[in-house]
Structure 1
Amino acid sequence: MKVEYEEQKDNRINSRRSFVKEYLIVFAVVLWCCSGSILIFNAQMQQNADPWFMVLIGSSYVLFIGVVVYVGIKILIRSSFTKPIHEIRKVAEGDFTVRVHSQRKDDKKDEVEILIDDFNRMIEELASIETLKGDFITNISHEIKTPLSVIQNYASVMLKESLPIDKRMEYTDTILVASKKLSTLVTTVLKLNKLDNQKIIKKNTYSLDEQLRCSILALEEKFEEKDVMLDVELDEVMITTDENLMEMVWNNLLTNSIKFTESKGTVRIKLKKENDKIIVSISDTGCGMSKKTVEHVFDRFYQGDTSHSSIGNGLGLSLVKRIIDLVEGKIKVDSECGKGTEFTVTLKEN
């Protein structure tokens, strides 16, 4: 079986590495060796020296020059690669601050320079991942420690026999709330971890408007508790995507709207189809977000409004963003402090 390989052209390459200098050096050395050998041969011939002696002298001369050239070229090559290899070794040991520097004085790019650029970009990505990993561990440690401390402290107080029944019931409720928050955090982290490693989604065709209605009805009690009005405008739309993943998206976005909308406020849910695009918008008349918060709203554990941090963990919108990316959709946030927030999700029909 014949295997054909077609080299992919890299449009970033605008120059080829030239070895003319090295060729000229080798040519000059060879010319010097030949000239030297001829001169030695002529000198010995004029003195009627033994031919074998002349061959020995000439060979020794050529050998000596060859060794000198070999050592010189080896030193030149090693000096060119020693520093990059040293920097690569430091990266392998976990130092992501190093960079491999360009070997060219001009701004042109050859194959080696492109390789250096790609390697430096890889180091930057690794450094970014390492930073995110550190932040993730720090944040999740804090998020787990807080409810655990609440559970531990209240459980210790409940061991006192003199504690009144009403206080015991109050502390029991507090422990249940903290344990529920801890359970939600662990569940969300596991979901995110699963989605981070998921590449293929299970698609099926279903009614998106019906799914949104079910999500709204599932949160009906929460809407009533906060006395939040609903404005629902749903077109009949069929979609082919992962039904379970999209259910998580709507539940998170709707829960967020309820969370940040004051009593007597309004949450609007709209669904419409434009050509081959499906657009879902969920807006509220809540407190809104600052520009800085909008920029980081999908970052893990980020909570712009700390007044609501006790009823969230900063992972819900990260989960939403990951799912939208997975189904090849788009999500946009429009918000203004004091005027509310609108999340717009754009999906493919199939």
Structure 2
Amino acid sequence: MKRISIRLKLTLWFSSVLIVMSAAAIWGILHINSRVDINRLTSLLIQEVDLSLSEIVYAKEPQGGPIGSYWLYYGGGYIALNESLLVTQNEVRLAMYSLDGSLLYGENPISSVTDSSGFSDATLTSHPYEGSVYYSYDRLLSVDGLDSIWIRGVVSSYAEDFQLSMTIRAVMLSLPMFVVVAVVGGYLIAGQVLRPIKKISDAASGIEQGGDLKKRIELGEGKDELHSLASSINSMISRLDRAFETEKQFASDASHELRTPISVILAQCEYSLEKTRTETEYIEAMEVIKRQSDKMAGIISDMLDFTRLETTPERYIMERLELSELVSLSCLDFEHLSDSDKKGIKLVSDIQPGIRVYGSYQLLTRLVTNLISNAFRYGKEGGNVWVELKSADNKAFLSVRDDGIGISSEHQPRVFDRFYQVDSSRSGEGTGLGLAISKEIAKLHGGDIELKSSLGEGSEFIFWMKLSV
């Protein structure tokens, strides 16, 4: 069975079920039909016998009698018999008997069986006879002045059996044809239904062999489960494609960003080794090497953090925490910076107390620090940085605004890209990953970061996330 195709398995399954159900249905129909036929036959027998009682006329002397009748002398009187009365009526045969069981008139095809069993008024009896079943029904007729007589009706089930056998034969001949048509139709329908799976398999195989993540499963329009599956697989492939493209871009950006400090370090080493330098020159070279090494260390550290955020976010502990306290402590750290580091910038904070969220203390601290340090980095000397935290609509909103150089509209869509820096002249002041990491942290917490900025008027970064329940 393991080597049989799904199409054939489905066909065999519903074919087997169809055959069993058809056989059961046919058996039930035939069984019910036979019972109905027997009931109809016995009802007809009783009806004909009872009708005959009302049509028998008795008189002391022969008179005109009913049309088409003649007189039979019995018991000191005469019975007027209609010529059509005691002949076969609707397959029922009628016979008249005296009280001692002598046949007076009519016909009884199974007299050899019934005559020995006697009579019983208003009683229906079955008699197996020569491969068929006969039914008899007796009625006792009593008329004033007339000795009682028996009317016996007999009917055979042969006609009903013959009709039933013809029905069975017709069914047995048509059933195989019906099953064949159903199986062939089911096989074709199964093939039609499973065709999208074949396309999905072929597309997946093509992607696996060619490594082309640009390919997609083309099934056309549809709302069934297979089209939904194909859509999900296409979405998964698109996500993988974006992930690989991002990975390649990340590697390219990282190599580009690391190339500059490495080149500077190599240049300083070559400069120091060309010939004997003065102590001051050696110190200057070592300071350059240290500065570039620190930059490389920062880039590598941020790259590792970014990778951890994308690949293993579960490593960060999530808990209910006081966001108001976290932001306040972060602001306090920046207020303690030296004047040279702050460039004379004044930090103004407006923090609503008691705002609680569910998240990682480590990551949210990193996000707040990145936004505030970014505001100090690009704020103007002697300017201001405003930090505001408030809650609204079941969300926490953190706004970090500066009055610095601002960002032009053409650069705003890319400020959250990795290693992207608007002012290349200040590339040495950061790794270019701060905002990208902050954006990823916001998404990890079910929130986002938005930018509002105008060139020359400063920038505002707004982070939001849901409050803790």
Contact 1:208 1:239 in 2 (8 A): no
| Structure 1 position 179, deviation (Å) | 0.4
RMSD: 3.2
Is 2:280 the counterpart of 1:162? no
Contact 1:215 1:251 in 2 (8 A): no
| Structure 1 position 133, deviation (Å) | 1.1
Equivalent residue runs for 1:317-332 within 5 Å: 317-332=435-450
Per-residue CA deviation, residues 160-209 of structure 1 (Å, 9 max, x unaligned), is: 44323322222211111100000111111111122221136332534235
Of 325, 345, 364, which residue of structure 2 is paired with 1:228?
345
Q: C-alpha separation between the residues in 1 aligned to 2:229 and 2:318?
A: 38
Equivalent residue runs for 1:236-275 within 5 Å: 236-240=353-357, 241-274=359-392
Structure 1 or 2, whichever has the larger Rg, is 2
Q: C-alpha separation between the residues in 2 aligned to 1:242 and 1:88?
A: 38
SS in 2 for 1:169: helix
Using a 3 Å threshold, how does the CA distance of structure 1 residues 208 and 83 change in structure 2: closer, same or farther? closer
Using a 3 Å threshold, how does the CA distance of structure 1 residues 120 and 258 change in structure 2: closer, same or farther? same
Contact 2:384 2:402 in 1 (8 A): yes
Per-residue CA deviation, residues 295-319 of structure 1 (Å, 9 max, x unaligned), is: 2222222223322222222211111
Q: 1:87 is aligned with what amino acid?
A: A
Partner of 1:198: 313
| Structure 1 position 283, deviation (Å) | 0.6
Q: C-alpha separation between the residues in 2 aligned to 1:80 and 1:284?
A: 56
SS in 2 for 1:138: helix
Normalised by the length of structure 1, the TM-score is 0.70
Normalised by the length of structure 2, the TM-score is 0.54
Using a 3 Å threshold, how does the CA distance of structure 1 residues 97 and 273 change in structure 2: closer, same or farther? closer
Using a 3 Å threshold, how does the CA distance of structure 1 residues 136 and 73 change in structure 2: closer, same or farther? same
Which structure: greater strand fraction? 2
Equivalent residue runs for 1:166-181 within 5 Å: 166-181=280-295
Using a 3 Å threshold, how does the CA distance of structure 1 residues 112 and 82 change in structure 2: closer, same or farther? closer
| Structure 1 position 142, deviation (Å) | 1.2
Q: C-alpha separation between the residues in 2 aligned to 1:339 and 1:136?
A: 32
Using a 3 Å threshold, how does the CA distance of structure 1 residues 304 and 110 change in structure 2: closer, same or farther? same
Per-residue CA deviation, residues 131-181 of structure 1 (Å, 9 max, x unaligned), is: 111101101111122211111110121124432332222221111110000
Q: C-alpha separation between the residues in 2 aligned to 1:264 and 1:248?
A: 25
Equivalent residue runs for 1:99-110 within 5 Å: 99-102=216-219, 107-110=221-224
| Structure 1 position 237, deviation (Å) | 3.5
Is 2:197 the counterpart of 1:85? no
SS in 2 for 1:292: coil
Using a 3 Å threshold, how does the CA distance of structure 1 residues 121 and 238 change in structure 2: closer, same or farther? closer
Contact 1:283 1:341 in 2 (8 A): yes
Q: C-alpha separation between the residues in 2 aligned to 1:277 and 1:326?
A: 15
| Structure 1 position 120, deviation (Å) | 2.1
Q: C-alpha separation between the residues in 1 aligned to 2:197 and 2:392?
A: 57
Q: C-alpha separation between the residues in 1 aligned to 2:397 and 2:414?
A: 23
SS in 1 for 2:397: strand
Contact 1:209 1:235 in 2 (8 A): no
- Across the two proteins, how many residue pairs are aligned to each other? 282
Per-residue CA deviation, residues 59-116 of structure 1 (Å, 9 max, x unaligned), is: xxx9xx99xx89x969x7798766543322121232112222225xxx4422222222
More displaced stretch, 171-180 vs 242-251: 242-251
Is 2:256 the counterpart of 1:139? no
Which structure: greater helix fraction? 1
Partner of 1:118: 232
Q: 1:171 is aligned with what amino acid?
A: A
* Sequence identity percentage: 26
Using a 3 Å threshold, how does the CA distance of structure 1 residues 268 and 296 change in structure 2: closer, same or farther? same
Per-residue CA deviation, residues 198-249 of structure 1 (Å, 9 max, x unaligned), is: 136332534235323333235445543x222332333333534432222211
Partner of 2:433: 315
Using a 3 Å threshold, how does the CA distance of structure 1 residues 147 and 99 change in structure 2: closer, same or farther? same
Partner of 1:213: 331
SS in 1 for 2:410: helix
Contact 2:327 2:368 in 1 (8 A): no
